[in-house]
Amino acid sequence: MAGDVIKTDAVIIGAGPVGLFAVFELGLLDIKTHLIDILDKPGGQCAELYPEKPIYDIPAFPIITGQDLTEGLLVQIKPFDPVFHLQQRVDELKPGSDGGFHLTTDIGTRFETKIVIIAAGGGSFTPKRPPLSGIEQVEGTSVFYSVRRIEDFKDKNILIAGGGDSALDWALNLHPVAKRITLVHRREEFRAAPDSVNKMRALADAGELDFVIGQVMELHGEGDRLEAASIRLKEGEMTRLECDRLLPFFGLTMKLGPVADWGLNLERNHIPVDTEKFETSTKGIFAIGDINTYPGKLKLILSGFHEAALMARQAHRYVYPDTKLVFQHTTSSSSLQRKLGVK
């Protein structure tokens, strides 16, 4: 569609859980949405970083995986028919002459919109790549920075590097399916949740998992196939460990990316908003979810859902300036139920 200008009520930058739920809240108020995301699928961090990991603090879902939450949100917003523009990064956001905004993506898709919702999470996030010679060659075949499909790790010799929650969680979650798990971390102490560390140590004591204090120094293999890694142990000597999968978990580089160039006020790479409307320093541009900041902000999915609901009420004022907004419940409003296709 590069070349054509897409005209719409609202563009949502970021199709993470919060961007997805914003479609619902805006849809109830008759506001049409287009979503843009760099990733190749909706779901943001939930889909990219922990699709099979259980989340325990989504109201009314005692347990739900990142992927199931994403799929549920996609079903919930279906009545509003949002348009997705995936694998595209929003590079430019400028005010238009008509009071709205113009956006352009890295592949040249252009939008004219009345309002913009920035739901960009941590911005353009990329995993930190360890400085190992030849690692690019085995990325996506033997080296992974997230677990997308547990099946890919079944019966494999897996080397997990890191000392944070991701490293510990995946050591525990992959343990039942892997042939063998080795966790390598450069020191005895971990940043991860103590409960996970205790579980890992219990498995190591029972001989069901190997924990090595050291650092991965070199990779060995043929073509795109990893066969072993050289590890420098605490005492300084080198050891060779056979492995066919490496999961390095050294955190993410959170780059705000193009968001920093859009003329918005920023506070430590986050966009300050008010807690009534979740609007930025520019009227008509909102920021919800992990990307925003305000006193007491918690980077939780449920906070982003709440923010989306309040944002939508102010958005309605810009999209329908002459229409008074009446507060309604979905349980009792036949007008909302018609929009949801249930009446």
Ligand X SMILES: Cc1cc2nc3c(=O)[nH]c(=O)nc-3n(C[C@H](O)[C@H](O)[C@H](O)COP(=O)(O)OP(=O)(O)OC[C@H]3O[C@@H](n4cnc5c(N)ncnc54)[C@H](O)[C@@H]3O)c2cc1C
Q: Which residues bind ligand X (CB under 6 A)?
A: 13-19, 36-39, 44-46, 49-50, 55, 57, 89-90, 119-124, 166, 257-258, 289-290, 299-302, 304
Phi, psi angles (nearest 5°) of residue 98: -90, 10
> Rounded to the nearest whole angstrom, what is the least distance from the CB of residue 272 to ligand X in the complex?
15
Of 84 and 211, CB closest to ligand X: 84
- Give CA–CA dist 65/50, Å, rounded: 8
- Give CA–CA dist 51/67, Å, rounded: 4
Of 260 and 325, CB closest to ligand X: 260
Tokens describing residue 30: 């008759």
Give, as one character, the DSSP assignment of residue 289: G
Q: Which helix (H) or strand (E) holds 67?
A: helix 66-77
> Rounded to the nearest whole angstrom, what is the least distance from the CB of residue 45 to ligand X in the complex?
4
> Rounded to the nearest whole angstrom, what is the least distance from the CB of residue 255 to ligand X in the complex?
9
Of 61 and 320, CB closest to ligand X: 61
> Rounded to the nearest whole angstrom, what is the least distance from the CB of residue 284 to ligand X in the complex?
18
Of 100 and 304, CB closest to ligand X: 304
Residue nearest to ligand X (CB): 121
- Give CA–CA dist 91/107, Å, rounded: 9
- Give CA–CA dist 316/326, Å, rounded: 11
Task: Give the dihedral sign, CA 213/215/220/225.
Answer: positive
Of 120 and 243, CB closest to ligand X: 120
- Give CA–CA dist 302/298, Å, rounded: 9
> Rounded to the nearest whole angstrom, what is the least distance from the CB of residue 57 to ligand X in the complex?
5
> Rounded to the nearest whole angstrom, what is the least distance from the CB of residue 133 to ligand X in the complex?
28
| Cβ-contact 102, 6 below 8 angstroms | no
Q: Alpha-carbon dihedral of residues 78, 81, 87, 93, nearest 10 degrees?
A: -130
Of 117 and 209, CB closest to ligand X: 117
